[in-house]
């Protein structure tokens, strides 16, 4: 079901979702790719320490996908702990493969993962974009990623994620190997779930924390108020930490209270010229006025069957304030359809995130969504344009 479409270019792409259950080969985002894919990791140390979030890793551990010459062979690559991978990964060039010299500079995209996830859980998208000439920098948000225990501050102080993303842009632009090869006039952002909220913040959306608390205390409250990842937050003794109303938690540290005080601030990063948000969450936390004021191109995509970030209170509410945004609802898809494809050995064990409706081919959804993102950024971050 297609709710509304903005720019004519993206309307045509969105209408093709009527045939979503086609094979991945037919819909393959790799078609026409000009590069192979390289991967590297950067450990970015922001000027302001994040120790108060309680995260095991305070630095911004950043996965970077980048274009490599097609003459450099790619090797099979799965995602997860060595010996016990979880997801199918895109093949990558040998470690240390140089950035392709085919172009002097490449556009840069910052990528933000969902609650309790990781940049690698969006490998399907990061790799597809790199194969089409983008440098993609995916940050693992401190205190809210699958690589280490979630912390309460990392989980609840959502607006801080935008500062992570902006500081990753700082780090990549200053990087001695990559910085000189970034076209600083062609920077965009892409995010999934809470990462979708994050990139909308980079575009200028603002948070109304008290308003979200009121929504979650009302009869209209839905699944977005009770994310399943909350069960993973524990205190020092190992006991589960109850998620109290943020506005009345007087036991919070001074740093946490200071963060809450700036929750409604603008986190607009003027370097970001276009945003692609997949299954954006926390729609009820974003003010309609700030969404309406966003001036850069935005593309919104979600599964029509999403019950984790319900369509009505998330993508629909966001889109209602952004009449110029392009909006696509993928028939049959739900929230976790947009994570990497699970390996058969773990599909049953991780059924909550691995299982899709019988009518949905996850690889085909990935391929079409990646193609839509590639087309969107080609149109909104054109070469030679500021």
- Over the stretch 175-189, which tens digit does the pLDDT of each residue have? 999 999 999 999 999
Q: What is the reported pLDDT for 277?
A: 98
Closest C-alpha to 232, from 224, 241, 245: 241
pLDDT above 70 coverage of the chain, percent: 86
Q: What is the reported pLDDT for 33?
A: 80
- Domain 8-380, CATH number (from 3.20.130.10, 3.40.50.300, 3.30.450.90, 3.40.50.1820): 3.40.50.1820
Q: What is the pLDDT of residues 61-80, one digit of tens each?
A: 999 999 999 999 999 999 98
Q: What is the pLDDT of residues 87-112, one digit of tens each?
A: 999 999 988 899 999 999 999 999 99
Query: Among 6-10, 70-74, 295-299, 367-371, which stretch is predicted with the lowest mean pLDDT?
Result: 6-10
Q: How far apart are CA 323 and CA 281, in angstroms?
A: 18
Q: What is the reported pLDDT for 28?
A: 40
Q: What is the pLDDT of residues 257-269, one digit of tens each?
A: 999 999 999 999 9
Q: How far apart are CA 148 and CA 114, in angstroms?
A: 14
Q: Is the pLDDT of residue 16 over 70?
A: no
Backbone phi and psi for residue 159, each to the nearest 5 degrees, phi listed first: -60, -25
Q: Mean pLDDT across the stretch 368-382?
A: 97
Residues in Cβ contact with 228 at an 8 Å cutoff, skipping those fewer than 6 apart: 308, 352
b (16+ CB within 10 A) / e for 180-192: ebbbeebbbbbbb
b (16+ CB within 10 A) / e for 301-319: bbbbbbebbbbebbbbbbb
Q: Which residue has the higher pLDDT, 60 or 244?
A: 60
Instruction: Work out the pLDDT band at 246, boundaries 50, 70, 90.
Output: low
pLDDT above 90 coverage of the chain, percent: 76
Encoded tokens for 278: 């997949």
Instruction: Work out the pLDDT band at 22, boundaries 50, 70, 90.
Output: very low
Q: What is the pTM of this model?
A: 0.91
Q: What is the reported pLDDT for 231?
A: 80
Q: How far apart are CA 329 and CA 20, in angstroms?
A: 11
Q: Is the pLDDT of residue 13 over 80?
A: no
Instruction: Work out the pLDDT band at 248, boundaries 50, 70, 90.
Output: low
Q: What is the reported pLDDT for 338?
A: 98
Encoded tokens for 153: 């501050």
Q: Is the pLDDT of residue 251 over 80?
A: no
Please answer whether residues 55 and 132 qualify as being in contact, where contact means their C-beta atoms are separated by less than 8 angstroms.
no
Helix (H, G, I), strand (E, B) or coil at 187: strand
């Amino acid at each position: 079901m297609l709710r509304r479409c903005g720019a004519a270019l993206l309307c045509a792409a969105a209408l093709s979702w009527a045939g979503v259950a086609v094979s991945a080969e037919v819909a393959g985002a790799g078609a026409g790719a000009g590069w192979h894919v390289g991967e590297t990791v950067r450990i970015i140390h922001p000027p302001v320490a994040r120790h108060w979030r309680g995260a095991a890793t305070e630095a911004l551990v950043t996965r970077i996908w980048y274009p490599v010459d097609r003459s450099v062979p790619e090797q099979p690559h799965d995602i997860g702990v060595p010996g016990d991978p979880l997801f199918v990964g895109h093949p990558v060039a040998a470690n240390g493969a140089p950035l392709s010299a085919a172009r002097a500079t490449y556009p840069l995209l910052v990528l933000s993962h969902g609650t309790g996830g990781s940049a690698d859980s969006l490998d399907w998208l990061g790799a597809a974009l790199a194969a089409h000439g983008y440098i993609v920098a995916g940050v693992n948000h401190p205190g809210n990623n699958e690589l280490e225990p979630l912390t309460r501050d990392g989980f609840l102080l959502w607006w801080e994620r935008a500062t992570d993303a902006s500081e990753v842009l700082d780090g990549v632009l200053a990087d001695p190997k990559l910085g000189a090869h970034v076209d600083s006039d062609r920077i965009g952002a892409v995010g999934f779930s809470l990462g979708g909220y994050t990139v909308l913040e980079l575009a200028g959306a603002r948070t109304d924390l008290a308003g979200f608390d009121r929504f979650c205390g009302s009869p209209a409250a839905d699944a977005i108020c009770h994310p399943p990842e909350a069960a993973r937050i524990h205190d020092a003794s190992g006991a589960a930490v109850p998620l109290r109303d943020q506005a009345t938690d007087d036991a919070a540290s001074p740093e946490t209270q200071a963060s809450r005080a700036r929750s409604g601030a603008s986190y607009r990063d003027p370097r970001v010229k276009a945003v692609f948000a997949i299954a954006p969450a926390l729609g009820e936390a974003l003010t309609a006025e700030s969404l309406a004021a966003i001036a850069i191109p935005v593309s919104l995509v979600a599964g029509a069957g999403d019950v984790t970030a319900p369509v009505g209170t998330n993508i629909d509410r966001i889109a209602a304030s952004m009449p110029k945004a392009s909006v696509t609802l993928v028939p049959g898809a739900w929230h976790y359809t947009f994570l990497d494809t699970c390996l058969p050995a773990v599909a049953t064990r991780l059924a909550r995130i691995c299982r899709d409706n019988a009518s949905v081919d996850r690889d085909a959804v990935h391929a079409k969504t990646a193609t839509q993102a590639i087309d969107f950024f080609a149109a909104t971050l054109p070469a030679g344009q500021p």
